[in-house]
Amino acid sequence: MGPACSGQWPDVAVAESAVERVRPKLMTVVAIMAGLLPIMWSRGAGSEVMSRIAAPMVGGMISSTILTLAVIPAIYALVKEWRLRHQPAS
């Protein structure tokens, strides 16, 4: 049973979820970056085209990592806390 189902306060649930996602996300990003950085830094024939493709992908991987591990969980926690505080009493 995950934190969302266990009735924990959203801050605790979000923190635990983010910690669980760090390793798989970083492993994926490191593997992709290990393949993209040599393409981005190469100077051989046709490298101009490939480096133009690799550079935005590197930026996308960095921004998606930040979004996945920090921004989206923070927004989720804010929305969930707001809903809990404004929930009508039953």
| Distances from the Cα of 33 to the Cα of 1, 20, 40, 53, 88, angstroms | 33, 21, 10, 13, 48
Q: How many CB atoms lie within 10 A of CB 17?
A: 15
To 10 degrees, the CA torsion angle through 61, 63, 67, 70? 100
Q: Tens digit of pLDDT for each residue in 26-60?
A: 999 999 999 999 988 888 888 888 888 999 999 99
Neighbours of 28 (CB within 10 A): 13
**Is the separation of the CB atoms in 77 and 14 below 8 Å?**
yes
pLDDT of residue 1: 45
Residue pair 25/68 in contact (Cβ under 8 Å)? The answer is yes
pTM exceeds 0.85? no
